[in-house]
Amino acid sequence: MSVHIVRLGADRLPGEGVRFGTVRRPPRGIRKADYASKNFYDVWLPTLSPSPELVKQALTARSERDWRRFVTKYRREMAAAHASAALDVLAALSLQADFSVGCYCADESRCHRSVLRELLRERGALLEPRPAKGRDRPFPWPAQPLARRSRVARSNSS
């Protein structure tokens, strides 16, 4: 019994169990009925995602110092009663069942799921080791949002 920390949209691992999406927003362009079958998540758990302001901060972090600031603020958000209770439930559940938590980010080391890994470990959760390189494969479609890609394509075609 343990927790897998995964990239949402990547192939499911054997024995992964229920997949929790710890993201602020559902995946774009995917019908709600297809979230699980397309390997995003079975249960949406936005309680454990960073606030919109912190998501922006994480995406613009360029230095180690910027990243550490994000981690400090995200840990503060996860200390709030509702988030802390959710983390406690997941840590306890990891002793009885297999499940996974995840996010869309390609690089776990610069994603809130790396901090979730630490927070769950601090609460006594049983965690699976990080996947081998290449296991966290990208989505079968471009990760860039469709609207932005369309504008870029239009500007390059003129």
Q: What is the per-residue pLDDT for 146?
A: 38
Per-residue pLDDT band at 73 (split at 50, 70, 90): very high
**In degrees to the nearest 10, what's the CA dihedral of 95, 23, 71, 96?**
0
For 78-112, give one letter per residue: b (16+ CB within 10 A) or e: beeeebeebbeebbebbeeebbbbbbbbeebeebb
Q: Is the pLDDT of residue 144 over 60?
A: no
Give dist(CA 36, CA 41) in Å, integer: 5
pTM over 0.85: no
More confident residue, 115 or 142: 115
Q: What is the per-residue pLDDT for 141?
A: 40
Q: What tens digit of pLDDT does each residue of 9-53 get?
A: 999 988 899 999 999 999 999 999 999 999 999 999 999 999 999
In three-state form (DSSP H/G/I as H, E/B as E, the rest C), the secondary structure along the chain is CCEEEEECCCCCCCCCCEEEECCCCCCCCCCHHHCCCCCCCCEECHHHCCCHHHHHHHHHCCCHHHHHHHHHHHHHHHCCHHHHHHHHHHHHHCCCCCEEEEECCCCHHHCHHHHHHHHHHHCCCCECCCCCCCCCCCCCCCCCCHHHHHHHHHHHHC
CB neighbour class for 38 (10 Å; exposed up to 12, middle 13-18, buried from 19): middle
